Structure 1
Amino acid sequence: MNDPTPLPPEAVEALLTDTSPYLSCDDCFATIDVYVERLAADPGHRDVAMETHLAGCGACAEEARTLLDLLAGS
Structure 2
Amino acid sequence: MPTRRVIWARGNVVAFHCPKSIITTQSLYFLEQFRMWKEFGGGTPWSIDAKAAEAILFLEGVWRKEKKHGEEE
**Alignment TM-score, normalising by the size of structure 1:** 0.30
Larger strand percent: 2
Higher relative contact order by CA 8 Å / sep ≥ 6: 1 or 2?
A: 1
Structure 2 length-normalised TM: 0.30
Structure (1 or 2) with the greater helix fraction: 1
Which of structures 1 and 2 has the bigger CA Rg? 2
